Amino acid sequence: MIKKILLLGMFATLGLGCKSPKAVTQESSKSEKKESDLKEYSQVITAKAKSDEGLFTTHFVDDKLYFEIPTELFEKDMLLVSRIAGVPSRFGGGYVNAGSKVNEQVVRWVKRDGNVDMKVISFENQSDEESPIYKSVQANNFFPILFSSKIETWNNDSTSVVIDASGLFEKEVDAINGISSSLRKRYKVKKLDNSRSYIESAHAYPKNIEVKHVMTYEAETPPDRDQAGTISMLLNQSMILLPEDKMRPRLANDRVGWFTIDKYDYDSEELKADDYEIIRRWKLVPKDIEAYKRGELVEPVEPIVYYLDPATPEKWRPYFKQGIEDWNVAFEKAGFKNAIIAKDPPSKEEDPGFSPEDVRYSVVRYVASTTRNAMGPSVSDPRTGEIIESDIIWYHNHLRSYRNRFMIEAGAQNPKARTLNTPEEEIGEMMRMVIAHEVGHALGLPHNMKASSAYPTDSLRSAEFTQKYGLTPSIMDYARVNYVAQPGDEDVRYIRMLGPYDLYAINWGYRFLPEADSAKEEKATLDKWILEKAGDPVYEFGNGYSGADPQSQRESLGADQIKASEYGIANLKKVVPNLVDWTSKDGYGYGELAEVYRELGYMWRGYLSHVVTNIGGVYETRKTSDQAGVVYEPVPSDIQKNAVKFLNEEAFTTPNWMLNQDLLGRIEASEAIDRIQSIQTWTLERLLKKDRLKRMITNEEVNAKKAYSSVEMMEDVRKGIFSELYNSRKTDAYRRNLQRSYVDIASAYLKELKERENDEVLKSDIMALMRGEMEQLKADINRRKNRVDHQLTRFHWNDLLARIDAATLNEI
């Protein structure tokens, strides 16, 4: 009898060993269920539940949101993308809009006894699992738990667990929070008000979950007084299943502009953790690799498809679709045909499951908003850089921006720009190119602000040149309207378009390289392509972030920024006298006139800024150590000196052309002086920034004979701004304001001696430079202040003396 029991036990054991792992898991799960004494499924997910099946099944039961998570999805990588879906008026000063991304992080759902944890996973630090250092990398990059919830129940066949996910969206979780620390401080946010925070919706799709939730914060100083001491915002959380079949990454190279992801390789043979970057791009694989190898154009296995938002007005749809498919010419350079496709939104009959929220669909969204902007965000796999999905955002009022800019920058040269009702062909072309620019971002390309400096400035006045090459080699530059063209320049192109750099960059990033077995093996080929273009400014990249390179600036045009700004201001001077006629409409006031005139002032300021950057400027040409020549080269002294001469004439001389009384008398009572002072002071502050002065002082030491010295620059500026003093003439109100600004800016440096806050400036030659300037100006005023027979001017000189004394006598 004992033997029979032992045999039965042995057969039972053998029988268990023959079961599938899934069966074992299910039995184990059922055992856990009994042991933990969980509720029955129907007691948790009741008949009142509003359910949606997809990646997870989501259930709303009363005021709770439940996730039903299949056990097969435990330990799977998912991308959690947090976006702002709705913001209060004037939030973030108007610069934080619906659609703004807050965070992007990889998460995994992990079962832990009777709980499920959501862990944040990082792929920044990497090591091969077989490498000895792998355990150390894991130990020193322990993954934090973002959210945890106990298991409420299992589904009927024990293949899924059910958790209450409400706490993730109703409580304040920093990693998905919509209010940054700076805005929290700005609005004096106290805490989250749980009673006014709730989940609005949850939808499940085959590859993603979308949850919208309202977060309400108590705030002492909300952006709008009507908000009753609160800030409420709508957040959207997207949880996206990342692909099992990982795309081969492509190593980045900063000589070609791409959005990138940082990585650290601990298996490197270098005597350090090898830091590198991979680019963000869509996964394009040829359908016929052999034909592709032969140089034939081949369609990709999965093309990039963009759907238009159903809200897109019918008359704009052709321009949007053209802007998307314009990129096919670039993909053809990479060996692909029909790589990117634009489609109208499907009808309910064609695709009843279509939703812009579904990660399977990339959509150009048309947003009814007063925001004047467009965006090209994308979602990418941080493991490989593969772009998973993208939603281009077009805000309706962006039309207004381009209508105004076209009038301001092309009105002098182009009769079609002399109306607020811009002809459809022109505004449609602008929309097309804005969409193409944003699609460029969504393909992985950042701004290339250096591109505009590749073309000779006067070439932009040529119809033959601009119609063939556009305004810049890259549509990813900010070169919106051809302000260089002058009246009489016939048939020139006014709107940007794709250029040779864009084709080059797409080929570099998307060309399929079947002969390589790894990202490292691709590098030699990719580097070779860069070296083939080295020295040609058409193929150079610069993001414009440093603020030091005049050849890499937003909104600038042409290789000669001074000449381009001369052309631009010449056009503005012709536009101002016509604005009343071009903006007036019978039966309406002058609101449009005021808006366009204000924006014209911003254009003037921008042209001045382009010139300022040349002073103390440094040209940057990105190179690797195998290329000859330096990376950084100071702007030649004659260009810098000419830039100061330009500023004295076009920035610091009273702009009487802006003071058109027929215009000003229709829009304001007395703001002209303040407006001009604001623009002139802004320009002067940029000119006298410490970083610029430090570069000039450094250059003097390195290139003593060739450099435009800081002392010489300050003297040239002083003699221009105070020309009335040196020529014994009276000053007008505009010049007095500018001269006060000059003294105040220089004095602010000296006052730092007393406050002792900026050690970097205190120990630099800037202090000696500013003290010397103030002493020289004081001496000059004392010698010349009584040479002019104008009482207010003499009072003004005495006021400046008092300001200088206050700065120089009391700084310590």
Amino acid residing at 686: R
Query: Residue 463 belongs to what H/E stretch?
Result: helix 463-469
Our CA dihedral for 186, 192, 198, 201, rounded to 10 degrees, sits at: 40
d(CA 214, CA 228): 16
| Cα 436 from chain centre | 16
Residue type, 313: P
* 437, amino acid identity: H
Residue-wise pLDDT for 634-670, tens only, equals 999 999 999 999 999 999 999 999 999 999 999 998 8
- 277's tokens: 């970057």
Looking at the predicted structure, is the pLDDT value of residue 608 above 90? yes
Strands 125-126 and 260-265: parallel
H runs (alpha helix) in 156-296? 166-170, 181-186, 289-293
Look up residue 123 and give its two tokens: 């792929």
pLDDT at 612 over 60: yes
Angle at alpha carbon of residue 493, lines to 490 and 498, rounded to 5°: 160
pLDDT in tens, 255-283: 999 999 998 765 555 544 568 899 999 99
Partners of 234 in beta bridges? 86, 214
Which stretch of 11-20, 160-169, 427-436, 531-540 has the lowest confidence by average pLDDT? 11-20
The backbone region for 237, taken as left when phi is positive above 0, alpha when psi lies in -120 to 50, beta otherwise, is beta
Assessment of whether the complete model's pTM goes beyond 0.75? yes
Q: 6 pLDDT band (50/70/90 cuts)? A: very low
Q: How many CB atoms lie within 10 A of CB 165?
A: 25
* Residues 362, 86 contacting (CB under 8 angstroms): no
DSSP single-letter state for residue 471: S
Least trusted range by pLDDT, from 31-40, 459-468, 577-586, 596-605: 31-40
Domain boundaries, the chain: 1-36, 38-241, 289-559, 609-808
In SS3 terms, 559-604 reads as CCHHHHHHHHHHHHHHHHHHHHHHHCCCCCCCHHHHHHHHHHHHHH
Alpha carbons 125 and 351: distance in angstroms, whole number:
42
* The residue to which tokens 């008000």 are assigned: 193
How many Cβ atoms are within 10 Å of 565's Cβ, its own excluded? 29
Contact 695, 716 (CB under 8 A): no
Average pLDDT, the chain: 89
Question: Length of the chain, please?
Answer: 812
Residue 464 to residues 416, 468, 474: CA-CA distances in angstroms?
Answer: 20, 6, 18
Contact assessment for residue 407 and residue 419, using Cβ atoms and an 8 Å cutoff: yes
| DSSP conformation letters of 196-229 | G-EEEEEEE-SSEEEEEEEEEEEESS-SSGGGTT
Confidence of residue 7 (pLDDT cuts 50, 70, 90): very low
Q: What is the mean pLDDT of residues 728-738?
A: 95
Tens digits of per-residue pLDDT, 180-239?
A: 888 888 888 888 888 899 999 999 999 999 999 999 989 888 887 666 788 888 999 999
Q: Which helix (H) or strand (E) holds 716?
A: helix 710-721
Residue 12's pLDDT is 37
